[in-house]
Amino acid sequence: MQSNAIQKTIRFTGLTVIAIVLILPLLLGLSLSLSSSASIAQGNLIPNHLVLNNYVQVFTTTPMLKW
């Protein structure tokens, strides 16, 4: 009975670690996409001010919707 609870705890802990490892790069990419170029050049991973100009630039200067 006790070994079953230990196995469930180990499985849950392992799955939690895997989920964190998989989600962190996505959050980093989102954070950097919302940062200004100056903020990225300074090495800030978390933006002080959210900037949507990166998304506007992608959809106005490149034929992104054709892909």
Q: What is the pLDDT of residues 2-55, one digit of tens each?
A: 889 999 999 999 999 999 999 999 999 999 999 888 888 888 778 888 899 888
Distance from first CA to last CA of the chain, Å, rounded?
A: 55
pTM of full prediction above 0.75 = no
DSSP states along the chain: -HHHHHHHHHHHHHHHHHHHHHHHHHHHHHHHHTS-HHHHHTT-SS-SS---HHHHHHHHHS-GGG-
Per-domain boundaries in the chain: 2-66
Helix (H, G, I), strand (E, B) or coil at 5: helix
